[in-house]
Every structure is written in structure tokens, then in C-alpha cells.
Amino acid sequence: QVQLVESGGGLVQAGGSLRLSCTASGLTFDDYAMGWFRQAPGKEREGVSCISAGGGTTLNADSVKGRFTISRDNAKATLYLQMNNLKPEDTAMYYCAAQRGFWLPTPLDYTRYNLWGQGTQVTVSS
């Protein structure tokens, strides 16, 4: 059974940092492109950052460029999202997602992914 389990969310003040993790099981992790997505109440799910199966290619949404860094450790089957200089508008439920393939067309499009975690809440206070 495939599972993606996120952790690392929490409450932080504006300007602070958090590191999210997503541990995968039940799949050959390095066969999958991965992404982080977020959804705030009343808003559509949006792509935050994504990474190729080998980890050499990444893409960030404009809203997080220079602040968020995605990475992966294929030996540990774990995906990370380092979030620095957090802003109140970053408040959302954060999800990791996986799709088999090295890299995806339009990889920040959440409809490209078929495996999802349950999410971890990030709340940034002003």
C-alpha cells in the first residue's frame, strides 16, 4: 500500500522558518517526480514547488521563489520543503504528491499527480 506521510507543520511567526517532510512507503521512490502543494480555506489547491525523480531539477512557484527550497533524499524515501521568511499568506494545508515519471509537463499543476498525503497545517501569524 502506497503511503505519503507529511510532518513538520505548525504555528510560526512571520519571518520564521519551518521544514516539512514527506516520507513515502510502498513505492520505488526514485521512480517518482514529487511536489508540494497547498490549499487555504476557500481557495483552490496551488503548486508550491516540485522536483524531478533524480532530484536534479526543481521548480518553484513565483510566490515562494527565494524563500522555499525543495529537496529529496532518495535513500530515505523522503521529500523536504525548507520554508524561510514565512508570511501570513503562506498559511495553508500543505500536501506532498507523487507521480510516476522523471519529470512532468506543467509540474506545478496538481492534476498531474495521483498520489497524495493527508497534509500538514502551516499557520503563520503576523
CA distance readout (Å), 72 to 43, 51, 62, 82, 88: 27, 8, 21, 11, 26
The pLDDT value recorded for residue 110 is 95
Computed from CA positions of residues 90, 35, 84, 73, in that sequence, does the dihedral angle turn out positive or negative?
positive
4 falls in which pLDDT band (50, 70, 90)?
very high
Q: How does pLDDT run across 31-74, given as a tens digit for each residue? A: 999 999 999 999 999 999 999 999 999 999 999 999 999 999 99
The pLDDT value recorded for residue 70 is 98
The pLDDT value recorded for residue 79 is 98
Q: Which of 42, 40, 44 is nearest to 87 (CA)?
A: 40
Q: How does pLDDT run across 7-39, given as a tens digit for each residue? A: 999 999 999 999 999 999 999 999 999 999 999
The pLDDT value recorded for residue 53 is 97
**% of the chain beyond a pLDDT of 70:** 100
The pLDDT value recorded for residue 38 is 98
Q: N- to C-terminal Cα distance for the chain? A: 40
| Beta-carbon count within 10 A of 6 CB | 22
Q: How does pLDDT run across 97-106, given as a tens digit for each residue? A: 999 999 998 9
